[in-house]
Amino acid sequence: MQQPDSSSWAQACDAEMAAALQQNSTWQLLPLPAWVRPLGLKWVLTTKSAADSSTPRYKARLVVKGCAQRPGEYGQLYAPVAMTSTLRTLLAKVAAEDLELHQLDICTAFLDGELGEEVWVEQPEGYQQGGPGMAYKLQRALYGLKQAPRAWHDKLQQVLVGKLGYAASTADPNLSIKHSSSGSIWVLVYVDDILMAAKQLEQVQQAKADIMGQFKARDMGEASCYLGLEVSRDRAARTLLVSQLSYAEGVLGKFSMPACRGRSTPLAPGTQLSQQHGECMGSSRFAELIGCLQYAAQHTRPDLAHSVSLLSRFMSAPTTLHWSAALSILNYYGSTKQIGILYGGQPSSRSNYSQQVIGFGDASLGGCPDTGRSTEGYVFMGEQWGGKARGSKS
């Protein structure tokens, strides 16, 4: 608040208090019982840039200092999120069947969660009322509470399954499916980001209206960026490309490598890494880089999977040799940052169309120099063509 743009931050805080907290009846201002230990609150201030605007948006979020919560002050904490494999499967289905793909963003999702425990918090800085003996008794979950994600997940499932007639998938509880005479609708949830797919646009619009009737949400239109994944489609060719160009540029900037010389492979063939080679270094920077590469490998860059997995074995005590290998992977990643996974494609027009899945496997016997353990790898690929099914090619 000492900065020249303090008035913009003040407006953001006022908006958070009015729209997100007071209108949602998030709390009650009451005298604090003598035996209650209230939790502290903290303002988190940040700016967000919109893709269609060069003016940053000031955003304020009031969060609870959940680190001060003690066991017994909360119940169940586990809240699942959509699995990466489920997301990739849904995108592949959208491309193959030319489905409509749209996105919703739930506003202040955690404030919709209903608490099962009694939680008291101090009044936020700059908005104290009623004297020092007053505090807030929460009626809804607030960001920062340990049980807030679980409360939101339970509330969303109550609405989707209990009110709107969806059924949770047995493979992934965050994938909900609704079958009707007009077709099926798939709804995938990652905390407060919702992806929905259906054959007809009217089905998607109705699904949006149903959810927005229960929660305050922003209609993001056709999905173009979901969890940092950039989605581009060619509806005529029935293809869908998923890439992470912006994410890759962010990773390269974080580790001061905006320009890359380029490599043909993440690691040189035959590379063997050991705990005994190189000088020991701190693990935090190494772990941060491996985590960034792991996220890319899980979503759009399977070509990084083996090399990143190999380096993950040394997270507890990395050496300078391991750091050099990690930078080699980052160099390759930066020089190929524009590529991604392409789903779909027009099948052959011939009547005797067939599809075959081909698998390849390889293993190194006792390949680890430290433990003597073996490493096995495999890959399965699907091919589409007209005519008689062919066998695998080496």
In a domain, 96, yes or no: yes
CA–CA gap between residue 85 and residue 93 (Å, rounded): 12
Q: Indicate the burial class of 365 (C-beta count within 10 angstroms; 0-12, 13-18, 19 or more).
A: exposed
pLDDT number for residue 354? 52
Domain count, the chain: 3
In a domain, 239, yes or no: no
Per-residue pLDDT of the chain (394 residues; tens, 9 = 90+): 888 988 999 999 998 888 778 878 889 999 999 999 999 999 999 988 765 556 788 989 999 999 998 888 888 888 889 999 999 999 999 999 999 999 999 988 998 998 888 999 999 888 888 888 899 999 998 999 999 999 999 999 999 999 999 999 999 999 999 998 888 999 999 999 999 999 999 999 999 999 999 999 999 999 999 998 999 999 988 899 999 999 999 999 999 887 777 788 999 887 888 888 788 887 889 999 999 999 999 999 999 998 999 899 898 889 999 999 999 999 999 999 999 999 987 654 444 445 678 899 988 888 788 888 888 888 887 654 333 333 333 2
Residue 106's alpha-carbon distances to 60, 111, 152, 215, 220, in angstroms, are 16, 10, 11, 7, 10
- DSSP-assigned letters across all residues of 109-167: GGGGPBPSS--EEPPPTT---S-TTEEEEESB--TT-TTHHHHHHHHHHIIIIIIS--E
Whether residues 80 and 118 share a domain: the answer is yes
In a domain, 122, yes or no: yes
pLDDT number for residue 283? 80
Whether residues 60 and 109 share a domain: the answer is yes
In a domain, 237, yes or no: no
CA–CA gap between residue 4 and residue 10 (Å, rounded): 12
Whether residues 83 and 212 share a domain: the answer is yes
Whether residues 195 and 311 share a domain: the answer is no
pLDDT number for residue 181? 85
Residue 9's alpha-carbon distances to 4, 62, 128, in angstroms, are 10, 13, 18
Whether residues 18 and 151 share a domain: the answer is yes
pLDDT number for residue 392? 33
Whether residues 221 and 205 share a domain: the answer is yes
In a domain, 94, yes or no: yes
Q: What pTM value is reported for the model?
A: 0.82
Whether residues 114 and 205 share a domain: the answer is yes
Whether residues 168 and 207 share a domain: the answer is yes
Whether residues 210 and 267 share a domain: the answer is no
In a domain, 293, yes or no: yes
Whether residues 140 and 214 share a domain: the answer is yes
CA–CA gap between residue 57 and residue 325 (Å, rounded): 39
pLDDT number for residue 387? 34
pLDDT number for residue 347? 57
Closest CA to 111 of 238, 211, 22: 22
Whether residues 213 and 334 share a domain: the answer is no
In a domain, 260, yes or no: yes
Domain hosting 157: range is 6-227
In a domain, 240, yes or no: no
Whether residues 270 and 374 share a domain: the answer is no
pLDDT number for residue 374? 87
